[in-house]
């Protein structure tokens, strides 16, 4: 992900009046070439090279296209029935069982950087560079609220579903009360790229454009801790808590992924796998696997017991931005696309086969 703040600004108006009108006004416009495509499904088996004690195998089961913009963010609904993917001015809702029956949620006027489901699965939050976070009904697909936040890079729900953490471009982290649609805290004043709540809801981890990693008490808005990675390039592009809250994984601009002891702040591992920046990072629901993505169009799946690479694959030519696991851990999705591009977004679905007994 580029490090200059200006690179996150809205794209030039030269992208085409027809394309922009789709998202500026609620009027029908002829779809782009990307939107006219039909979702394509491919299957290929990717087996780990060499000795693999875990016995894992990874099978690509779908390649989903037909929408505008890069997939900066992905989110699986809590019941596993819907996969949401970010795009330009839209959020796509997919049936992950078939890879088809896609629904486009339109209303944003710029790139969508973050998507996240409420814990009960009734609402989907989408965060955009257009300066808003929108809430969508999972049942009707209607927009039910629009929060004026300023240009935002990420959004995360509290585990109880009462609050939203919104990471903004230059305005720090905003904590919103969902029921009243009001901002109740602002935790910092720097440029936030990534954020995530601990499972117990007592800590919010925040990743900055300056490479910072900070832990906050979201109730009192007080700083709890700050981790200091030794990275050659800035940006904490992504972060993820392990299911038991013991680990925090962070993805960085120099291509490294750091694994931290969340309690002590001590770095435990540095994982090197991606050329260019690393961004997507997600623990499997059982905590045994960590999936990471990067600029070099690569995804790696790591064992959290040995920290060995169990699967490493490349999907050229575009960067891989995001990764998300299904709630049952049987699948993960990876999102790609050209940075600030209006077409070419792709979602890849993978099935996890084998592994140790549950």
How sure is the predictor about 34, in pLDDT bands with cuts at 50, 70 and 90? very low
Phi, psi for residue 297 in degrees, rounded to 5? 60, 35
Of 19-33, 65-79, 84-98, 121-135, which gets the smallest average pLDDT? Answer: 19-33
How sure is the predictor about 44, in pLDDT bands with cuts at 50, 70 and 90? low
Which token pair is 125?
């939050």
In 10 A of CB 200, how many CB atoms? 10
- Compute the distance between CA of residue 143 and CA of residue 279 in angstroms, rounded to an integer: 28
CB-count exposure of residue 179 (10 Å: 0-12, 13-18, 19+): exposed
Q: How far is CA 164 from the centre of its chain?
A: 15
CATH number at 39-354: 2.130.10.10
Consecutive H or E run containing 24: helix 17-24
Residues in Cβ contact with 41 at an 8 Å cutoff, skipping those fewer than 6 apart: 61, 62, 63, 99
pLDDT digits over 236-289, tens only? 999 999 999 999 999 999 999 999 999 999 999 999 988 889 999 999 999 999
Residue carrying the six token digits 């609402």: 123
Q: Residue by residue, what is the 3-state secondary structure of 157-219?
A: ECCCCCEEEEEECCCCEEEEECCCCEEEEECCCCCEEEEEECCCCCCEEEEECCCCEEEEECC
Of 1-10, 109-118, 266-275, which gets the smallest average pLDDT? Answer: 1-10
Preceding omega of 111 cis (within 30 degrees of 0): no
- Compute the distance between CA of residue 7 and CA of residue 340 in angstroms, rounded to an integer: 9
Q: In the chain, pLDDT over 70 holds for what percent of residues?
A: 83
Which token pair is 136?
């969508």
- Compute the distance between CA of residue 87 and CA of residue 341 in angstroms, rounded to an integer: 10
**Short-list 227, 167, 158, 216, CA closest to 194:** 167
The 10 Å CB-count burial string (b at 16+, else e) for 313-332 is: bebeebbbbbbbbbeebebb
Query: pLDDT at position 39, please?
Result: 46
pLDDT digits over 300-335, tens only? 999 999 999 998 888 888 999 999 999 999 999 999
The answer to whether residue 229 scores a pLDDT higher than 90 is no
- Compute the distance between CA of residue 195 and CA of residue 205 in angstroms, rounded to an integer: 5
- Compute the distance between CA of residue 355 and CA of residue 358 in angstroms, rounded to an integer: 9
The answer to whether residue 165 scores a pLDDT higher than 50 is yes
The answer to whether residue 27 scores a pLDDT higher than 60 is no
Query: pLDDT at position 46, please?
Result: 54
Please give the residue that has the higher pLDDT: either 21 or 91: 91
How sure is the predictor about 55, in pLDDT bands with cuts at 50, 70 and 90? confident
**Short-list 316, 325, 314, 321, CA closest to 291:** 325
Length of the chain: 358
Report, as an integer, the average pLDDT of 329-344.
91
Query: pLDDT at position 107, please?
Result: 96
Consecutive H or E run containing 156: strand 152-157
Report the relative pairing of strands 309-314 and 320-325 from DSSP bridges.
unpaired
Which token pair is 213?
């990693």
Query: pLDDT at position 28, please?
Result: 28
The answer to whether residue 206 scores a pLDDT higher than 60 is yes
How sure is the predictor about 343, in pLDDT bands with cuts at 50, 70 and 90? confident
Report, as an integer, the average pLDDT of 72-91.
97
Averaged confidence pLDDT in the chain: 85
Intra-chain end-to-end CA distance of the chain, in Å: 36
Residues in Cβ contact with 229 at an 8 Å cutoff, skipping those fewer than 6 apart: 211, 213, 236, 250, 252, 256, 258, 267
């Amino acid at each position: 992900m580029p490090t200059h703040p200006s690179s996150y600004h809205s794209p030039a108006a030269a992208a085409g009046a027809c394309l922009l009108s789709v998202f500026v006004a609620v009027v029908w416009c002829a779809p782009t070439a990307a939107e006219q495509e039909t979702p394509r499904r491919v299957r290929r088996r990717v087996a780990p090279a060499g000795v693999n004690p875990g016995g894992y195998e990874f099978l690509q089961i779908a390649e989903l296209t037909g929408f505008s913009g890069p997939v900066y963010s992905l989110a699986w609904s809590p019941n596993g029935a819907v996969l949401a993917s970010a795009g330009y001015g839209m959020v796509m809702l997919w049936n992950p069982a078939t890879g088809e029956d896609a629904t486009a949620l339109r209303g944003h006027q710029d790139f969508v950087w973050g998507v996240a489901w409420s814990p009960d699965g009734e609402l989907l939050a989408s965060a955009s560079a257009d300066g808003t976070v929108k809430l969508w009904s999972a049942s009707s697909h209607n927009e039910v609220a629009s929060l004026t936040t300023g240009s935002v890079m990420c959004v995360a729900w509290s585990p109880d579903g009462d609050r939203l953490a919104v990471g903004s471009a230059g305005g720090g982290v905003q904590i919103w009360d969902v029921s009243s649609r009001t901002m109740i805290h602002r935790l910092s004043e720097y440029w936030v790229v990534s954020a995530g709540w601990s499972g117990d809801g007592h800590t919010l981890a925040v990743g900055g454009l300056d490479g910072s990693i900070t832990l906050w008490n979201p109730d009192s808005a007080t700083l709890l801790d700050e981790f200091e990675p030794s990275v050659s390039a800035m940006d904490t592009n992504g972060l993820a808590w392990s299911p038991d809250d013991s680990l925090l994984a962070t993805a960085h601009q120099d291509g490294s992924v750091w694994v931290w002891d969340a309690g002590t702040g001590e770095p435990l591992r540095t994982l090197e796998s991606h050329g260019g920046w690393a961004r997507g990072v997600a623990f499997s629901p059982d905590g045994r696997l960590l999936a990471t993505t990067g600029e070099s169009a690569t995804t790696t799946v790591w064992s959290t017991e040995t920290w060995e690479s169990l699967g490493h694959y490349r999907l050229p030519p575009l960067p891989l931005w995001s990764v998300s696991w299904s709630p049952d851990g049987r699948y993960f999705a990876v999102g790609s696309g050209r940075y600030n591009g209006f077409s070419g977004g792709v979602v890849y679905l993978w099935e996890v086969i084998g592994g140790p007994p549950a």
